[in-house]
Amino acid sequence: MEKTLKEILNLNRKYTNYGQVASYIPELKNAKRDDLGICIIDKDNNIYKAGNCDTKFTIQSISKPIVLAMALMDNDWSYVFSKVGMEPSGDPFNSIMKLETNDSKKPSNPMINAGAIVTTSLIKGASVEEKEERMLKFFRKLANNDTLDINYEVYKSEKTTGDRNRAMAYLLKNDGFVQGNVEEILDLYFKQCSIEVDVVDLARIGINLAMYGVNIENNERLLSERVSRMVKTFMITCGMYDSSGEFAIKVGIPAKSGVGGGIMASVPNSMGIGVYGPALDKKGNSIAGVKVLEELSHRYKLNIF
């Protein structure tokens, strides 16, 4: 398997020359555009790696399905979905437009920034510190890695430049989709995006979702089967933003990308996959990462349809 993974990386390495490393969060532009790595964890807990597997990068939007799972465990589902929708937006991840034009003004889904700010606001905790602690603990459990932590440079970088998200969050408060202190909600959102991971962490999160919420290493249930199904369904319909349709056709695996260059994919009942390649297409997805997943899906017939 590792030999095949190396081969797939080598075949697709040329795509690291296309696109751009994200720079709208200034700290992200320090990534090396020719890095490319993959890790697969299968349901027998075999771990296969190739390329830049130890490179750390921030999780960014891959935090969205995880925080969605928390919001669904912390609240009544009907309450969650009264604040955030279930439909693909077809718009860029940071679009503000539908907060005005949607009939209800509700954010379309929890995989775009507006919807993710809502799910972050639904995390329970007596104080901001407790919410942050619970969040980090859940990420560590899902990645099976107690050392996961926030990259404070990236966090500060986004906090000082994240005015588009700030604008969205205030609009969401004005329209009743978030309650409480907007700056505190944004702070938690920027922190969740700044959690540092590698492809092994992403593959572990992917396999935990693939096995319907049960950690195959110790049999611990991390989330319910139904929540894990909902999260994967959002990943397939909205996880690659306004490329989700094309990705479903070409790759056919529930996946979530982040502007840090990572993609986490989860093949139900079979495997978790983490890929990393920081140069992104215009929609914010890793160009080489998507190509690698496409090739992998064809070779191993991973398309869930």
Residue from 15, 48, 61, 275 carrying the catalytic annotation: 61
18 part of the active site: no
Residues 95, 98, 104, 110: is their CA dihedral positive or negative?
Answer: negative
Contact (CB, 8 A) for 167 and 210: no
**Count of alpha carbons within 13 angstroms of residue 249, beta-carbon side:** 3
173 part of the active site: no
Among 115, 258, 272, 274, binds ligand GLN (CB under 6 A): 258
Residue numbers 173-232 binding ligand GLN by CB under 6 A = 193
Buried b (16+ CB within 10 A) or exposed e, 180-216: eebeebbbbbbbbbbbbbbbbbbbbbbbbbbbbbbbb
Which residue, 97, 86, 21, 89, is CA-closest to 60? Answer: 21
Contact (CB, 8 A) for 260 and 133: no
Among 19, 206, 252, 284, binds ligand GLN (CB under 6 A): 284
Residues 162, 163, 169, 173: is their CA dihedral positive or negative?
Answer: positive
Is residue 94 at the binding interface for ligand GLN, with CB under 6 A as the rule?
Answer: yes
- The site string for ligand GLN over 221-250 (x = CB under 6 A, - otherwise) reads ------------------------------
Among 16, 109, 165, 228, binds ligand GLN (CB under 6 A): 165
How far apart CA 33 and CA 129 sit, in angstroms, is: 35
Residue from 84, 259, 275, 292 carrying the catalytic annotation: 259
Looking at the Cβ atoms of 15 and 93, the one nearer to ligand GLN is 93
Looking at the Cβ atoms of 9 and 193, the one nearer to ligand GLN is 193
- On the 0-12 / 13-18 / 19+ scale of CB atoms within 10 A, 290 is buried
Residue numbers 45-64 binding ligand GLN by CB under 6 A = 60-61
State the number of binding residues for ligand GLN (CB under 6 A). Answer: 11
Smallest separation (angstroms) from ligand GLN to the CB of 19:
14
241 part of the active site: yes
Is residue 113 at the binding interface for ligand GLN, with CB under 6 A as the rule?
Answer: yes
Residue from 155, 189, 212, 276 carrying the catalytic annotation: 189
Smallest separation (angstroms) from ligand GLN to the CB of 73:
22
Residue numbers 8-47 binding ligand GLN by CB under 6 A = none
61 part of the active site: yes
In this structure, what DSSP letter does residue 221 have?
B
Which residue, 2, 5, 35, 12, is CA-closest to 262? Answer: 35
Dihedral over alpha carbons 273, 131, 212, 300 (to 10 degrees): -10
Is residue 158 at the binding interface for ligand GLN, with CB under 6 A as the rule?
Answer: yes
Contact (CB, 8 A) for 31 and 262: no
189 part of the active site: yes
Which residues contribute to the site for ligand GLN (CB under 6 A)? 60-61, 93-94, 113, 158, 165, 193, 258-259, 284
Active site positions, annotated? 61, 64, 189, 241, 259
